[in-house]
Amino acid sequence: MPDTDTAPYEVLFEDQSHGYPNPLPTPNDLDGSEVLLNDSASIRLAKVQEEFVMKFGVHVDPIEAHNMLCMTKSTMVPIPKVYAIYQRPKGQKVITYILMQYVPGETLMNLWGSLDQARKTAIARTLRTYFDQLRQLPHPGYFGNIMGGPPLDDMFSATVGASEVVKTSFATEEEFIDAIVRIYSFETGERTAHKLRYYQHVLSTHLRGNDAPVFTHNDFQRKNILVQPDGTLVIIDWEFASWYPTYWEYATATFANAGWYDDWHDYVRITFGRIPKPVPLAIKHEARDVGLK
């Protein structure tokens, strides 16, 4: 059930222009009666009143909300509005709360099987206009998250040896690729030394974009696309968004299509336009094999 602690909390951000007539909900307004839209040990999503959703947990990070605020400010991509960010300690941990707009609708995952080819194509083309906007954002000159830290991907944070390799953002694609190879070496050890030597020789040449980072959602899946009753497509779950090489969005979207049970991959291709070099997909398949993703 939602956390019912009434301990003091810190306000990290509050939208002063929201125009809502009543005070915004806070962590202390979670009383356990909310409708849970998602409930896991570390991340919970609860509907508060009729207008809001509170995402909270030990694995929720304020940077997710800041990613969304950045998108709202810099693009016309439909995403839920962020109203507030709260934090408070709980034992040795910190709980982050993100208060955002409740967006009615069904996930594209749930609807996909009922859609005809024309509707699927129209959706893919609309999504392409969204990602074109992301790619037009002026980049900060590094590969990493919007705060200047490492890219927000488990590959760079939750794998064996990652903390030894990745301390901050990467200045170049060469550094980015070298980190992937080094993390792979920590994860697999001597048993795949032959494959590591191959990666060291090949990836620095073939795993390349255009040397400039682009803003990347990094978790593009149908479950993260809401279709509103009026047909508007809303992209949710921005916790992994960062500045990545140009091919990364396509590679992760294809990798996330585990099983290839239907035709989604055909429309991923429409969404991202020209298919990048096939080599980048190899490292994501290796990531799956060794637990990097």
Same domain (yes/no): 213, 132: yes
CATH of the domain at 84: 3.30.200.20
pLDDT of residue 91: 87
In a domain, 4, yes or no: no
pTM for this entry = 0.87
Both 27 and 121 in one domain: the answer is no
Q: What is the CATH number of the domain that holds 136?
A: 3.90.1200.10
| Residue 286 domain flag | yes
**Per-residue pLDDT at 143:** 96
Q: What is the pLDDT of residue 19?
A: 72
What pLDDT digit, counting tens, does each position of 26-49 carry? 999 998 878 888 878 789 999 999
2 domain-assigned: no
Q: Are residues 41 and 117 in the same domain?
A: no
Q: Do 119 and 89 belong together in one domain?
A: no
Total domains, the chain:
2
Q: Are 5 and 31 in contact (CB under 8 A)?
A: no
Residue 54 included in any domain:
yes
Residues of the domain holding 17: 10-101
- The tens place of each residue's pLDDT in the chain, 293 residues long, gives 455 567 799 999 999 886 776 889 999 999 887 888 887 878 999 999 989 999 999 999 999 999 999 999 999 999 999 999 999 998 889 999 999 999 999 999 999 999 999 999 999 999 999 999 999 999 999 999 999 999 999 888 877 778 778 889 999 998 998 888 888 887 777 777 788 888 887 777 777 777 799 999 999 999 999 999 999 999 999 999 999 999 899 989 988 877 788 999 999 999 998 655 544 444 444 444 433 34
Give the pLDDT of residue 289: 43
What is the model's pLDDT at position 5? Answer: 66
Same domain, 28 and 123: no
| Within a domain: 5 | no
Query: Same structural domain for residues 116 and 18?
Result: no
Domain shared by 270 and 144, yes or no:
yes
- Same-domain pairing of 50 and 188: no
What is the structure's pLDDT at 204? 75
Q: Are residues 207 and 246 in the same domain?
A: yes
In a domain, 271, yes or no: yes
| Digit-coded pLDDT (tens) for 187-220 | 777 777 788 888 887 777 777 777 799 999 999 9
Domain co-membership, 252 together with 116: yes
Q: Is 177 within the bounds of a domain? A: yes
Same domain, 156 and 257: yes
Strand order in the sheet with 106-107: 106-107, 225-227, 233-235
On whether both 162 and 289 belong to a single domain, the answer is: yes
**Final residue before a domain boundary, out of 51, 70, 101:** 101
Torsional sign, CA 93, 145, 252, 182: negative
Mark which of 49, 79, 101 sits at the end of a domain.
101
Indicate the residue among 48, 74, 101 that finishes a domain.
Answer: 101
- With respect to residue 122, please indicate whether it lies within any of the assigned structural domains: yes
